Amino acid sequence: MRPNPFQLKHQDPSGARRGQLNLSRGTLQTPAFMPVGTAAAVKALTPEQVEGTGAELILANTYHLALQPGHELIRKMGGLHSFMAWKRPILTDSGGFQVFSLPKKQVDEGGVTFEFQKGGTPMKLSPETSMEIQESLGSDIAMVFDECLPFPCPYDQAAKSIDRTYRWEARCQSAHQREDQHLFGIVQGSVYEDLRVRSAEQIMSLDFDGYAIGGVSVGEGLDLLKKVVNWTAPILPRDRARYLMGVGLPEDILESVERGIDMFDCVIPTRYARGGTLFTSRGRIRIEHRRYRRDQYPIDHTCDCSTCRTFSRGYLRHLFQAKEILGQVLCSIHNLRFYQRLMARIREAIEQDRFAETKRQILEELSAHAPSAR
């Protein structure tokens, strides 16, 4: 038996939880945000730069790594940490979300069969192969392989699906071997309260090291996110980590923390950064806007990231105009640091029993108008 890695340290009157995850490669303060390093790299950044933003845990994608360079290769290279030179903890997803997004696939009780390249040999991802791949990668936290539903999804299909997800997660539990890797279950159930509850009960009966809520990441909106978390989080075991997969915008994170979520991952900060959309304490800005042409101020004067300490908005705008990669690098650093500072602020507020107030404050800041040039 692996010990439960989660330790609940404090709960705020609002319901927000302050905890920590004790993993062999490092201790993680929660609520926590994980940058996404899909292909064994947080896009555009060196591990040192990612560490510099304060990230204590990153996510890597099983599906992408299994296809390229291949999990066997990564295992032979000493595992994912060694391969990508990231010393802190890594969480791997199961690959389920990606294979269910493929246009051409065949799903049966065994798993999902799909073509990697047009005309290539069909590949199969199943509960057992997902466990095998994640064990080869050697992540600190592995995720179970679940059935991911389209959105929207009819009730009958969702009802059938959670039973299969239950059977698949039980198979993951049986197949999983590594004692040095935690395994998290995933609750599904689409937008139906009774299915979410039934799925949570089924999955909890398998006794995982932590619990994730799946199926709310893909732009279904904040109202639905709140509903699903409201139905699910309260019935999850109080003493286990709760992870809301693929979420989200700062607003989504605030609402979810209030409902008792501990962990988040999302491509938004890095993807937005590469496109020139930056988070600031006075709302989002589009750095390519003409108003920043001669702007000598940093992206956010309250930010302590290496980009804000060194470069002006005017320079960053120029880098985007000139299509210089460096613009994407510097803006990725800023957005990731913004997210880590957001989480630090959330954690501090919870410790001081004033999360609700801090949440209000932050929401106000987020909806502020973008700062003007001068």
Instruction: Give me the residues that bind a copy of itself (CB under 8 A), please.
Output: 39-41, 43-48, 64, 68-69, 73, 76-78, 83-85, 293-294, 296, 306, 310-312, 314-315, 317-319, 321-322, 324-326, 328-330
**Does the annotation mark 265 as catalytic?**
yes
Nearest to 262 by CA among 14, 28, 1: 28
User: 93, 146, 252, 300: which is the annotated catalytic residue?
Assistant: 93
Residue the block writes with tokens 């705020």? 12
Q: How far is it, in rounded angstroms, from Cα 242 to Cα 22?
A: 14
Find residue 185's DSSP bridge partners. Answer: 211
Nearest to 184 by CA among 110, 229, 149, 236: 236
- Encoded amino acid at 15, one letter: G
Nearest approach, Cβ of 62 to a copy of itself (angstroms)? 14
Length of the chain: 374
13's enclosing H/E stretch is: none
What number of other Cβ atoms are within 10 A of residue 176's Cβ?
21
Contact predicate 56/29, CB 8 Å: yes
Nearest approach, Cβ of 76 to a copy of itself (angstroms)? 6
Contact predicate 113/126, CB 8 Å: no
Buried b (16+ CB within 10 A) or exposed e, 211-242: bbbbbbbeebeeeebbbbbebbbeebeeebbb
Q: Which is nearer to a copy of itself, 139 or 188 (CB)?
A: 139
Q: Which is nearer to a copy of itself, 3 or 120 (CB)?
A: 120
Q: Which is nearer to a copy of itself, 245 or 329 (CB)?
A: 329
Q: Which is nearer to a copy of itself, 239 or 304 (CB)?
A: 304
**Does the annotation mark 194 as catalytic?**
no
CA neighbours closer than 13 Å in the CB half-sphere of residue 355:
25
Nearest approach, Cβ of 51 to a copy of itself (angstroms)? 12
What number of other Cβ atoms are within 10 A of residue 206's Cβ?
15
Nearest approach, Cβ of 296 to a copy of itself (angstroms)? 6
What number of other Cβ atoms are within 10 A of residue 57's Cβ?
24
Q: Which two tokens stand for residue 342?
A: 């957001």
User: 12, 140, 146, 265: which is the annotated catalytic residue?
Assistant: 265
Q: Which is nearer to a copy of itself, 39 or 123 (CB)?
A: 39
Q: Which two tokens stand for residue 227?
A: 């509903």
Q: Which is nearer to a copy of itself, 60 or 229 (CB)?
A: 60
Contact predicate 300/308, CB 8 Å: yes
First to last CA, the chain: 60
Q: How far is it, in rounded angstroms, from Cα 93 to Cα 80?
A: 13
Positions marked active-site: 93, 265
